Structure formats: C-alpha cells, structure tokens
Amino acid sequence: MSNIEVAGSTRANGPGLFQCGSCKRHYHRLDHLARHVRSHTNFKPHRCAVCGKSFSRTDLLKRHVAAHDVRNAKVNNVARGAADEVPGRVSQACRACAANHVRCTESKPCRRCAEKGLECVYARIDDPMTPASPGHEGSQANHLLRSPSSMSSSLEAHITESMSLDVNGTQERPSHVLSRHPPQPSPLRGGETLHQVDFGITTGPPPPPVVHQPTFAPDDDFMIPQPELPTGCCTPTFAEWNFLPGLWSSAGNASSIAVDQPFPGVELDDLDLRFLDTYNITVPFELGGLSPSEPSQPAPPMGISDSPHPASRALEAFRDHLHWRFRPNQKDRGGAEEHNLSLPSDARDDPSPDSHISFARRVTAARLSNSARDNIMTIVIKSCRPENLPKAVASFPSVDLLDTLIQFYLTSSHARADSFIHAATFDPNEKKPELLLAMAAAGAVLTSDPTLTKLGYAMQECIRIVIPELWERDNSLVRNLELTQAFLINLETGLWSGFSRKVEITESFLQSPLTMFRRGGRFRKSNYSTVILDPNTTVDNAWRSWIQEESFKRTAFRFVQHDLNSSIYLMVNPLVSYAELSLPLPCAPSLWAAPTATQWKSLLTPPLSHQPPPIADYLDDPGAFKPHPHAPSPSPPLDLPIANEAFLACAWSLAWECIQLTSLHRSAPPLHKPRRWNTFLLSSRREELLKLLEHFRLGLAADSTTTTTTTTTEARMRLELILLHLHAPFEDVQIFAGIEGPDQARGAYHAVREWAVAGAAAEGARKAVCHAGQVLRFAAGLGRGMLQGPGAVVLYQASLVLWVYALLSSGAKGRSGLGPARDDGRTPAPGLDAVWLNGEDDLALQRFTHFGLGVPCLKGPSGQVAGVLLGEPEAVLGTVIGILRENHEGLPKPHLVERLLQLMEALQRSSVGMMEFHGQLGRQ
C-alpha cells in the first residue's frame, strides 16, 4: 500500500492535483486519494457477502471471494490441483507477521505469535490511527474526517502543529485542543462507526462504537439510506458548503482546474450512479422507450405448507405482503426519505427537456422558471433536516426536469388532473410552489421509474410537513384553493403508494382538509352561483371568476372521489355524507376546457346558462340528465364522468350503511334473543338500493354501446364491486382467507360456508361471484398500464371473493352444481354447460345466478384459449394474476401493483393448505 502511495506522489510530471488533508501527500487520481484516506480511517466499505468481512479495496475483496470459491469447490471435489491447496488471504494480519511477510491467521492471537511467545498486535477498527510508514515525515492526525459540528472551527484555525511518533511508537499530544466540540460518531454501513474528530487530539478515550441495526419493515425498504461516502468529508453543514481544499478538491486554488476538464477516474463502488448516464438525456418514463420489465422468477411448486398448520401459508402471505396495515418500528420516522431528494442532473442536459423529450402536447405554454424552481427548493430547505440539507440542495432536480414532471402529471390519463385543475389558465410561475411541488412529486411517482419514484415520495413527504405549518402560521390560508389542491394531490400520492406507513398517514390526514372544506361551505349549494354575464363586467373577469368557483366545486368532488376510494380500499367508514352534498354538479367539460374567454362566452348560450342539478337529483334519476336527441327540452349540461363518480360515492355510502346494519344483525348470539332490528326494514332498504344500482348499471351499459372510455370502464368496475359487497360478507371473507390468523379464520368459517354453499343463501354467493367475474371482464378491457391504483385494488378484492368461493365449493362440487372437470383441470367435462363469469351478461349467466344451473368458469387472459373452473382455487388466482400482469406487460409496474401481485401469488401457493384446512373444519 505504501509503495503505491509513494509512487502516486512522486511522478515525474510534478505533484498531483489531489492532496491529503492530513499527511499532505499528493495524488494524480481521486480514487488513489480515496484509497489513501482509508488507510487513515481504516474504513472498509467492501464487505464479503459470504462471511461478512470487510476490505478497503475491491481487489482484496475479489481475491477473498475467490478463496471462498476454492474452499467450496474443495469440499465438493477432493481431487483438486495443488493450486487449490493455497490457504486464503486473511482480512487483517498482525504487525509481527506483516513485518516478516509471513502468513497470519484469522483468529487472534495468531498461531505464529502464540508459538513464539510474541505479543500479537494488530490494528482494530476502532484504533484512532494506523501510521502509513514508520519513517514518514510527520505523522497522521487521529482522523481525517470530522463531524459537521467541528468543521467550522477547524477550517478557521490554521493547523500549525502535527503529531509525531517517538522511538517507542507513542503519540505526542499537542498542548492545546483546537476543536471546541467533542468527537461525534458518524454511522457507517454494516454497524460500523467512524469517530470523526478535529485535527486536535483530545485527551479522553474515543467513544465506543455505536451499532446500528436496521429494523425496517419489509414494505418500507425504500426508506433505507443508500450507501454513500462519509458525511464529514463530502457534506459539510449548509453554511460551510464549499469544497474543502486538500481533501476532496484539488490542491491549492480550486479554480485552477478548468470547468471542461474531464473528471478523474473514480472507483465509486459504493454508489449506484448508473442512472446518471440517461437522466435528462433520455426519458426514463417515456412509454415508447421503456424496456420490458424483468420477468419474475417462477413460483415454487404449490403444496402443503411445511408448517404444522395447513393455513399457515395464507397467514404468512398477509403478514408479509399486506401493505395497508402498518407495523411501526423505531426506524420509521419523519425525514427517513430525505436522502432521496437529491437527483444529480447531468451537465449535458442543455438547453431544455424538449430537446430530449417529445410530448404529444404541452398543457401549458409557459415553462417553469428558475425563480419558481428556487421557490420549490426553499420548501425543501424548510422541511429538510440539517444533516440532509447540503446534499439535497446541491443535487436538487433541474428546472427542466421539474417542468417535465409537472407536465407529465397534467397529461397523465391515470391522474386526470385536468378534471379539477384548469389547464388553460395554469401558469406554473404564478402558482404557489407547494402546488408545483405536489404535482412534480405525483408526476415522478406516476413514471414508475425506481429512482424518480423515490424522489417523488421524498418530495411528497416535504409537502405533508410544509402545508400544515403554513396553515398554522396563517389561518386564512385554510381557505386557499391552491394549498388545498396541493394537499389533496399529496393524499392521493400517499394512498396509492403501496407503503403501509404512507397509507396510514394518508388515512389520518384526510380529515383535516375535509373539515376545512366543510367549514368553508364548499359542500353547500349556497356558495355557488348561477352563471350570469354582467354587462358591467368584462368577459375575461367573468370567465376567471367562474373558473375560480368551478375549481372549488371540482375540487370538492375530487375529495368525494378520494373518500370513496379510501373507504373501499381500507374498508373504513366514508367521511363525507351523501346528505351534506347539496352543491351542484360540475358544468360541461366543453365549458371547462375553453381556452379563452371568448370561446367560453360563445358556449354559454341561454340553454347552457342553467345551473347543473345537485347530486340528489342525479342520484334519483341519472338517465334524466344525459343528452337525448329526441328530448323535448335539453337538460342542463354537466360533467358526466364526475357525476358518475359522485353517484358511486353516494351509493357506496348507502351500501356501507346497509352492510354495517346487516353485520350488526348477523352478529346476534344464536342462543339469545335477536337484536332489536327489523329484518323486513333492512331487507327492504337493501332491495331499494339494489334497484337503484341496477338502474344505474343499465345506464352505464347503454353509454358503453356508443362510446367506450376509460372513465366509463372504471365506473363499471366500481359499480360491480359495490354490488359484490352487498352480496358477500367481505370482512368475513378476508378473515377466513387468513388475514387475522388461523384462529380467527376458524371462527369465520361457518358464516362464510353458509354464505357460499348452504341452501337459499348461496344465491347471494352466486351473485357475488358473478359481479366479481364482471370486474375481471372490465379490468381486462382497460388500456395498457391503466390497471393501477383504485382499479388494481378493485381487482384484488374481486379475486379474493372468487378464491374463497372456490376454496369452499371445491369440496362440495356435487351439491353446488360445479360439476366435474376434465383431466387437465380446465373447462368443464363434455355435456356440461360452461358459464363464463367474466363474459357478457347473457342468459346463461342469469340462469346460474338465480337457479345455479351450469358450471361457472373464468376465461383466461387474452393469450390463453382455455378457461378455468371456478372450483380450482389455484387456477382462479392464476387468471387474475395473468390479467394484472398482462396489463403492465413491457412497462414498469407501480409499487402497489407489485405488492398486490406478491400477495395474490402467495395466496395462490397457499391454496392446497387452505383446502386441507377447509376439510378439517368441515369434519368438525
């Protein structure tokens, strides 16, 4: 090591540009300086994956791993060559063996010192320093790297004294201490610590190493900080942000290096910087240039679990992959994602993203300015912790990348941001930076690019902290539209993240903005006026006033839609009551999308100047407000997709009440008198709700015959799910599936079995699986990459009902009419009528629903010709998994989709054990 260092410092062409801040040696390459610094600090970043030993250089690690390979091969094959008999290199030799150039042993004291009676002395990780060579002029300071707290004092002081070694090898301490702060440990990877002290040497012993044991939950591994260089040498405090001369910069004046000089070859093995080759040059989230996602490993063969309990695999599936139930630990905290705020921008990203990114259209003509980017970065500075601030500020995304992410969010067909953000008047340089940051965060997450997704979630965490502080500082801002929209976007991003911590935070934070909107009167009709052009007001002012009022209205319905999605996803009570929604529905999309005031006025003809109806009128008769060519009088124009979402939100609230009352009535003890609930009233209310939903279902089907859009298909999926919940005890289904463990599953067995295969109640189960099959049908018809977020959750809930029904009916095929299968287990045997649950709603499906006639089957994904029997649980879940995978084929999958796929695959592997568990319960 010392020979290499001397050679590096005595080249014929003069001293190198890079100088060690401790011993003042010069190097021509930065990687040589970095390797030399490790000799001072004894920092060993390269860890063996086999035995856990650490090395300071990659070549030593490779040689060590090769020795492992030799030993493993030697065990399997005794007849090896003589070269295999060479013992492996030890991770650290003692000083006596190193001085005599003989082989040492891993165990200390080593064998040679023990035989000769010598003192086995070796440098430990926590030693303050290991000298480079005995004859070196001037010795080392204790540590080159220092804590940020002692950085300022040591930079201001000129170090004139250095330590020296006497003949006996003891260190002479200076008469004074330069640092005013005690040494502070800085955590490193693998539980090691590096004591960062100033150049002055304190008289006390070094503090003990602090062992950091990461205990992140399986679904929160994105919060684990990535390996990085020691904090003290690369990230000083914000006030001292400069390159330290003689440390990681060139010796002398830093300006002596030309800007266009190529960066020296660096062996940055500790950081994965490969993404820097493409960011800001190619678009990682451009659909046309995405590489197909790597195929997942094939699932292990399905069989009975090794655990003594047959239902243990289902319990493990929910325990390992249930992402909406948060299991906190001490490492879960605010600021854990701040290290992801830095996304270095390549210097070649010039002049703008338009030279590298081709959008089909830009929503806004104005581009994000540098001042707007500075305002966004100010938000990050306010919310960021001091230790993460320098890196976040130095490597914050460029203005072009932020502008691209905002445009990507505005144009995303999945986000549909233009339904509540007025695109024609949207100028990013005039909007609040909190709204811009929330939109950029949502756009980064929607890309599904791993690095950009981490950046988006880190920015989303900043928004969650900053906006409540603004509301606390100035209470008048609670009525500000842009801040409310920013917080709503933040909630939507967190809800569909697939990370349990974010999901729980989103659920708890939804109440605050809803309360502000409710107290501001934004759910009441009195706060919205009819559109009337005043002759004393200019058209432009009237247009902008209408936009402000319509934006509040559309944001209110966006809250209602988010509340619907959150309630279905988490199976919790809706927070917005259908009775309090007296505000009118949004106006026609043509008025909302008018690019100028003149065009808006031309569309505002007298028939169109009427106020749209409230949601109560639309709930009573949705078909009355749809355009009919032969209608005697035109109906007031309204935004039908938003009206349909509002209808489904109110219908879900009504269905949730019915489900809760039914659950309360069903929970009556069998040996006591029944609850004080009139079953006739409950059944009557349920039947009225089913008639209302069936009427709406026919209307959506009629709309689909003329124009099929993504919004209509998603509305039909949610409608089928609401009908499914009305016909299936979903809470009991989840418990029987294993979400609460085998004991609770045993308790829910009789209720679920009675629902599925017992007597007249089985008609409700058949209706439930028919609605679940229709969910699969509409999910398969969605566009490529659109099955995410709410759609993916709807598909999962439908699959769970189908799977549990298949588990229970597989043991009762003769009684339930499922019939025998062919030898391959797919499609019914000849002579039996197949009923395709995910096919068209035809007469065969109606006969099965009401009379149980036919053999229920599921059509496979588009690439499969044969279907699967509903009595085959493994094949049923395989069909659903195939639909979800096919929708994202060739595209990066969002984290939520990955977690749902993992959960369903784990449940699929537990099918055999669950059938055995069902058999045990049936025999009891």
Position 140 scores a pLDDT of: 36
Give the distance, in angstroms, between the CA of residue 231 and the centroid of all CA atoms in the same chain: 27
Q: How many CB atoms lie within 10 A of CB 661?
A: 16
Indicate if the pLDDT at residue 177 is higher than 60.
no
- Of 509, 529, 554, the one marking the end of a domain is 509
Position 136 scores a pLDDT of: 39
pLDDT band, very low/low/confident/very high, at 748 (cuts 50, 70, 90): confident
Position 864 scores a pLDDT of: 59
Return the HEC string of 530-589: CCCCCCCCCHHHHHHHHHHHHHHHHHHHHHHHHHHHHHHHHCCCCCCCHHHCCCECCCCH
φ, ψ of residue 592 to 5 degrees: the values are -65, -35
pLDDT band, very low/low/confident/very high, at 93 (cuts 50, 70, 90): confident
Position 802 scores a pLDDT of: 96
Rounded CA-CA distance 584/625 in Å is: 13
Position 314 scores a pLDDT of: 66
How much is the average pLDDT of 798-804? 95
Rounded CA-CA distance 397/452 in Å is: 10
Check residue 165 and report its DSSP letter.
B
CATH code of 13's domain: 3.30.160.60
Position 706 scores a pLDDT of: 66
Query: Model-level pTM?
Result: 0.67
Indicate if the pLDDT at residue 582 is higher than 80.
yes
Position 162 scores a pLDDT of: 36
Under 8 Å between Cβ of 421 and 412 = no
How much is the average pLDDT of 85-94? 66
pLDDT band, very low/low/confident/very high, at 513 (cuts 50, 70, 90): very high
Q: Is residue 771 part of a domain?
A: yes
Alpha helix stretches (DSSP H) within 708-789: 710-727, 730-737, 742-757, 762-780
b/e code 219-256 from CB counts within 10 Å (16+ = b): bbebbeeeeebbbbbbbbeeeeeeebebbbbbbeeeee
Q: Which of 178-192, 396-410, 810-824 has the highest average model confidence (pLDDT)?
A: 396-410
From its phi and psi, is residue 827 left (phi > 0), alpha (psi between -120 and 50) or beta? left
Element (H, E) at 704: helix 679-706
Indicate if the pLDDT at residue 187 is higher than 50.
no
How much is the average pLDDT of 747-775? 86
- Of 65, 93, 121, the one marking the end of a domain is 93
Question: How does the average pLDDT of the chain come out, rounded?
Answer: 73
pLDDT band, very low/low/confident/very high, at 220 (cuts 50, 70, 90): very low
pLDDT band, very low/low/confident/very high, at 103 (cuts 50, 70, 90): confident
b/e code 574-583 from CB counts within 10 Å (16+ = b): bbbebeebeb
- Residue found under tokens 């808006």: 600
Name the residue range of residue 75's domain: 2-93
Rounded CA-CA distance 494/457 in Å is: 8
- Residue found under tokens 């399905």: 302
Q: Is the pLDDT higher at 132 or at 476?
A: 476
Rounded CA-CA distance 105/87 in Å is: 10
pLDDT digits (tens, 9 = 90+) for 702-727: 877 666 688 999 999 999 999 999 99
Rounded CA-CA distance 707/623 in Å is: 16
Amino acid making up residue 228 = E
Instruction: Please tell me the least confidently modeled range out of 401-415, 662-676, 678-692, 826-840.
Output: 662-676
Instruction: Please tell me the least confidently modeled range out of 452-456, 666-670, 730-734.
Output: 666-670
pLDDT digits (tens, 9 = 90+) for 36-71: 877 787 778 888 877 878 887 888 888 888 877 666
Rounded CA-CA distance 520/524 in Å is: 9
Beta carbons within 8 Å of 589's beta carbon, 6+ residues apart: 639
Residue 821 β-bridge partners = 828
Rounded CA-CA distance 233/254 in Å is: 16
Q: How many CB atoms lie within 10 A of CB 853?
A: 13
State the virtual CA torsion across 280, 281, 284, 285 in degrees, nearest 10.
Answer: 80
Rounded CA-CA distance 553/304 in Å is: 55
Burial class (CB in 10 A: 0-12, 13-18, 19+), 158: exposed
Indicate if the pLDDT at residue 201 is higher than 90.
no
Beta carbons within 8 Å of 305's beta carbon, 6+ residues apart: 312, 313, 910, 913
Indicate if the pLDDT at residue 798 is higher than 80.
yes
Q: Is residue 812 part of a domain?
A: yes
- Closest of 260, 198, 273 to residue 229, by C-alpha: 273
Q: Is the pLDDT higher at 746 or at 7?
A: 746
Return the HEC string of 231-270: HHHHCCCHHHCCCCCCCCCECCCHHHCCCCCCCCCCCCCC
Report DSSP letters for 175-205, one per residue.
SS---SS--EEEE-GGG-EEEE--SS--SSP
Rounded CA-CA distance 599/475 in Å is: 37
Q: Is the pLDDT higher at 313 or at 870?
A: 870
Q: Is residue 271 part of a domain?
A: no
Position 827 scores a pLDDT of: 55
From its phi and psi, is residue 721 left (phi > 0), alpha (psi between -120 and 50) or beta? alpha
pLDDT digits (tens, 9 = 90+) for 851-879: 888 999 998 876 555 689 998 999 999 99
pLDDT band, very low/low/confident/very high, at 681 (cuts 50, 70, 90): confident
Instruction: Please tell me the least confidently modeled range out of 164-168, 486-490, 552-556, 891-895.
Output: 164-168
Under 8 Å between Cβ of 776 and 879 = yes
Q: Is residue 83 part of a domain?
A: yes
Burial class (CB in 10 A: 0-12, 13-18, 19+), 403: buried
- Of 509, 541, 569, the one marking the end of a domain is 509
Residue 834 β-bridge partners = 855
Position 101 scores a pLDDT of: 78
Q: Domain count of the chain?
A: 3
Under 8 Å between Cβ of 40 and 144 = yes
Give the distance, in angstroms, between the CA of residue 698 and the centroid of all CA atoms in the same chain: 37
Q: Is residue 407 part of a domain?
A: yes
Instruction: Please tell me the least confidently modeled range out of 111-120, 300-309, 704-713.
Output: 300-309
Q: How many CB atoms lie within 10 A of CB 615?
A: 21
Percentage, residues of the chain above pLDDT 90: 36
Indicate if the pLDDT at residue 213 is higher than 80.
no
Return the HEC string of 799-849: HHHHHHHHHHHCCCHHHHCCCCECCCCCCECCCCCEEECCCCCCHHHHHHH
Q: Is residue 432 part of a domain?
A: yes
Helix, strand, coil distribution of the chain in percent, nearest 5:
50, 5, 45
Position 606 scores a pLDDT of: 61
pLDDT digits (tens, 9 = 90+) for 447-476: 888 888 988 998 999 999 999 999 999 999
CA distances in angstroms from 801 to 689, 734, 869, listed in the order given = 21, 8, 15
Q: Is residue 581 part of a domain?
A: no
Q: Is residue 620 part of a domain?
A: no
Instruction: Please tell me the least confidently modeled range out of 205-214, 330-339, 665-674.
Output: 205-214
Q: Is 54 helix (H, G, I), strand (E, B) or coil?
A: strand
Instruction: Please tell me the least confidently modeled range out of 77-81, 239-243, 632-636.
Output: 239-243
Q: How many CB atoms lie within 10 A of CB 540?
A: 13
Instruction: Please tell me the least confidently modeled range out of 388-392, 419-423, 682-686, 835-839.
Output: 388-392
Under 8 Å between Cβ of 401 and 353 = yes
Under 8 Å between Cβ of 557 and 518 = no
Indicate if the pLDDT at residue 86 is higher than 70.
no
Report DSSP letters for 593-612, one per residue.
T-SSHHHHHHH--GGGGSPP
Indicate if the pLDDT at residue 335 is higher than 50.
yes
Under 8 Å between Cβ of 313 and 807 = no
